[in-house]
Amino acid sequence: MEVAVTKFSFTKATDANDAVLKASSLTNAAFIAGGTNLVDLMKENVARPGALVDINQLPLHTITETEEGGLMIGALVTNAATAYNPLVEKHYPLLSKAILAGASPQLRNMATAGGNLLQRTRCYYFYDTATACNKRNPGSGCPAINGFNRMHAILGASEACIAVHPSDMCIALAALNARIHVLGTGGTRTIGFNGFHRLPAETPEAENNLQPGELITAIELPAEDFSSHYQYIKVRDRSSYAFALVSVAVALQMDGNIIKEARLALGGVAHKPWRNPVVEEHLRNQQISAPLLQDAAEMMLAGARGYGHNNFKIELAKRVIIRAINEAAGIL
Amino acid sequence: MSQHTIGNSNYNSQQLYDADETIPVGFTVNGTHHTLQLTAATTLLDALREYMHLTGTKKGCDHGQCGACTVLLNGKRVNACLILAVTKDGADITTIEGIATADMLHPLQAAFIEHDAFQCGYCTPGQICSALGMLQEGRANTAEEIRELMSGNLCRCGAYTNIVDAILQYKNGGGRD
Ligand SMILES: Cc1cc2nc3c(=O)[nH]c(=O)nc-3n(C[C@H](O)[C@H](O)[C@H](O)COP(=O)(O)OP(=O)(O)OC[C@H]3O[C@@H](n4cnc5c(N)ncnc54)[C@H](O)[C@@H]3O)c2cc1C
Ligand code: SF4
Ligand code: FES
Ligand code: FES
């Protein structure tokens, strides 16, 4: 009847500083927000926190405009409330579209912005405590590399881990150059989106650059206009309620047929949302054409490697990139 | 965001509960107030089924993957299996037991019967709560939108087409479509 195999203590944070203090002083503590990932992993005995610090009552539930004309999304705003927020729909429709491509309506009503960033991989071996897994149990090995790896990474993987970050929301946030505001015992700091998640390298258990006990307080969207030319395409094994095999977020600024500014982020292919500034630079100030997009797709997948069951993702990603850019530009 | 320093004299630490300790929680479920003592590890689904004996809400997967446990929490549809009950102290909850009035079926329930929108019925409480939550959200206007926005509710019996028909009939005001 109870969710966890291991025992944990429980406390509610009274404010953000209290949350940080509790999370950094209690042994093996974890924040709990929507619980949609953490409770699931606790039931599987994959996550075994010693203490849960409930942050749901903190005042991080609003979306406000920043002085610079961007948006500040509180860490506890639900994915549904973000996607359907009028300011997000108007100025950052790419974010709405990506969020609505993820999970289910019920889950989006529960899942929070902060929790979405920190959700763990859906690698089957990571979830199965009967198997080895370097991410769950560092040094035990990675059975996915020579095992079932249909959903696994083709870019940026390591000998230690080939898992992917499963988020849709984060792919749009990466393309939009979001910034993550965090609070720790040393005060507040801001992390650029590209510096937030990590590649697996030798330490796949470390998925992001948060310090122990640090609390995400908000996600900031800079004041940039990508509301006219954007696309999010998610390819999955069924047409709804499934994680991405490959997803592509595109945000463009166009002048006629000329790409003035391009953002391109891939999901389902790496341990973090995958961007490549060289490709975006290659597209800038160019007239849109089939060879240009073919080049961009090839460059984006440069160095890609399949592990057997996921080889198809390389060609698939190229095709989805080309389609997504064409659709974002308005060329069908 | 509050900015006062850690450890100041106003610091009001709430209690730390040990794993085996129970925590007082209150819910209004279908209009009735319930006060319970639950461990932190108890899900809202188990609180409803095992402690309040409201077994209409079903446990399918217990992992957020099927929608059988869908209830309305402060008016919003959620998966009760992934919620720790203690994190929702004070919430207003509607389960399938709270949908009908006295001996009158809710018109959506009647539409499910009329359209044969189930076989075994295991997914039905979740389907009905989810559909009511969806219609409150106001984003589902066409059959296609209903299919997408009901995708969080699986039906092993495959009654999907009839479920969409039942929801459409209710949404369009009741009469046969
Ligand atoms: C069946 C199913 C299908 C799904 N499909 C998709 C999908 O298609 N696409 C997709 O993108 N996602 C999908 N998800 C994942 C879902 O989006 C995430 O589980 C959710 O976003 C996590 O948010 P949460 O608030 O529930 O996090 P929680 O489960 O509460 O927390 C997750 C982690 O974040 C930490 N945390 C939470 N808030 C903070 C904070 N403010 N500061 C610091 N740490 C914090 C917690 O300690 C925990 O480690 C799916 C989930 C399920 C169960
Ligand atoms: S891919 Fe990563 S998460 Fe999956 S088994 Fe290997 S080490 Fe574990
Ligand atoms: S029992 Fe909750 S979603 Fe399946
Ligand atoms: S009616 Fe049997 S699962 Fe839906």
Which of B73, B98, B123 is the C-terminal boundary of a domain? B98
Closest CB to A1 among B42, B77, B86 = B42
Predicted ipTM of the assembly: 0.96
Pick the atom of ligand 4 nearest to B117's CA: 1
Q: 3-state class of A195 per DSSP?
A: helix
User: Which ligand 2 atom sits nearest the alpha carbon of residue A153?
Assistant: 1
CATH says A9-56 is which class? alpha beta
Residue B4 has pLDDT above 70, yes or no: no
Q: Is the CB of B120 under 6 A from ligand 3?
A: no
Question: Is residue A115 predicted with pLDDT exceeding 90?
Answer: yes
B115 vs A185: CA distance, rounded Å? 58
**Rounded Cα gap, residues A231 and A249, in angstroms:** 6
Could you tell me if B36 and B89 lie in one domain? Answer: yes
Instruction: Write down the pTM of the prediction.
Output: 0.96
Residues 18-37 of chain A with CB under 8 A from chain B are 18, 20-22, 26, 32, 34-36
Instruction: Report yes or no on B1 lying in a domain.
Output: no
Question: Do B163 and B117 share a structural domain?
Answer: yes
- Structural domain count of chain B: 2
SS3 call for A326: helix
Say how many Å lie between the CA of residue A247 and the centre of ligand 2: 20
- Distance from Cα A242 to the centre of ligand 1, integer Å: 15
- Tell me which residue in A7, A20, A43 faces B19 most closely, judged by beta carbons: A7
And the tokens for B159?
């009654």
B8 CB contacts (<8 Å, ≥6 apart)?
none
In Å, how far is A14's CA from the nearest CA of chain B? 7
pLDDT tens profile A24-54: 999 999 999 999 999 999 999 999 999 999 9
Task: Report d(CA B119, CA A285) in Å as an integer.
Answer: 59
Of A31, A56, A82, A9, the residue nearest A184 (C-alpha)? A31
- B151 CB contacts (<8 Å, ≥6 apart)? A104, A105, A240, A241
Structural domain that includes position B63: 23-98
Q: Residue B11 has what pLDDT?
A: 37
Q: Tell which of B43, B78, B98 closes a domain.
A: B98
Binning pLDDT at 50, 70 and 90, where does residue B102 land?
confident
In a domain, B3, yes or no: no
CATH of A229-329, one of 3.40.50.150, 3.30.390.50, 3.30.830.10, 3.20.20.140: 3.30.390.50
> Between B84 and A5, whose confidence is greater?
B84
Asked if residue A246 lies in contact with residue A267, where contact means CB atoms within 8 angstroms, the answer is yes
CB proximity list for A282: less than 8 A, separation 6 or greater: A295, A296, A299
The single-letter code of the amino acid at A191 is I
Contacts of B134 in chain A (CB under 8 A): 105
Looking up residue B150, the CATH number of its domain turns out to be 1.10.150.120
